[in-house]
Structure 1
Amino acid sequence: MSRLYIYDHCPFCVRTMMVAHYKQVSDLEQVTLLNDDEDTCHRLIGQKMVPIFEHQGVAIAESMAIAKLLDSLGAAERVIRPLQLSEAILPRLQPVQAHSWALTFPRVTRIGLEEFATESACAYFRNKKEALLGCSFEQALAETDTHKAAIEQMLAELPPLSLPSAHGNTLSWNDVMNFPPLRGLTLVQGLTFPPAVLQWLDEVAELSGVSLYFDRAI
């Protein structure tokens, strides 16, 4: 049996989860690591990072390489449509990434995810991410309105995203790239998503078997 080591909240892990579920990859165990579990990562690949895919005695650790391999291992009839540059949203997300982090990092440890099942895992995450943010989680939360405004403007300016339902209920590689960072923003209570983006999120979540966070938003 192959193993996919992930964190539920990690956008890079979500790419691989989407492909594994959509392509109905068989004999695959999905393993959620605690966020402070460095030993497993170092044992498998020599460094602390996820996702990790262990297959036929070999462990690999780059999300798109894993996604492509899972695509080849899955059901051939469940095709992933080609990438369309016109629907690439990552360049639009990059300028507001700090705002996205400030909204999501302080919230994600508080919604019951397996990777944060222990106090030490939560503390490990906080220490790493507060250093990245340059402020405490409490300060980031206190500045939620500022961060929300920046993200909502970005969401309103996104290019149209092709609905899976308009393409025979199939996913595209754009969906695999675009869904993870937008899914993370569903953690934020009261964040306004344009209706078209909401419909796209719902359809991709359903097809990929990766749930949104709206019911646990903070």
Structure 2
Amino acid sequence: MALTTLASVKAQGGILPGDTSRDAQLRILIDGVTSYVKQLLNRDLESQEYVEYYSGNGTPVLMLNQYPVTAVSLVCVDESGNFGAGPNSFPPTLNLVNGVDYALMSGAKGNGSAGFLRRIGAHWLRPRSRQNGVLGTLPGAARGNIKVQYTAGYLDIPPAISMAVNALVLKQASMAAMGGAVASMSYEDVRVSYFDSHDARQVLGSIEAVLATYRSIPV
């Protein structure tokens, strides 16, 4: 799903709704910029349901891959779950109870906004292992022993993200029309110079700074 619409891009770029001469190009750029922004932010943004497998981290807090989290429908811990690969992994008898065994933590922007799931009265278990010649124990191999089914993402994409996506689409469209990003132009001798890759990064810097506030940092 795209992070903006053709109508929104045209409105921000001052393109009349009836001007359809570049609609096909803009749609392609919208898809491309959407994919780029999701990779940049290391997360999806639209509201959808996920079924994911995690390995315990030995702490009471588990960070889900997607956020904001709007609902958690299932949490199951099976120490032989192996990421759901087993034929009988994660049976319903091992399901945890919301509010008793786990709870969705409140973030700066409300409950579930940061995507943290807290284990009540226990830790998200990750067995330790020993290595010859090492006195202490080490974290065990990832076992995919936690299954979480939840809904996360925005019902409405934040305006700051949509505007940034629009700006990137319009910049790409402008660069494509001119054969690159124009740095300077002289009409008297018809000379045109273009930004190099360093200059292009500077142009996009302010937009990426806006997007950075929404970036997920893997832990």
TM-score of the aligned structures, taking structure 1 as reference length: 0.22
Structure in which a larger fraction of residues adopt strand: 2
TM-score of the aligned structures, taking structure 2 as reference length: 0.21
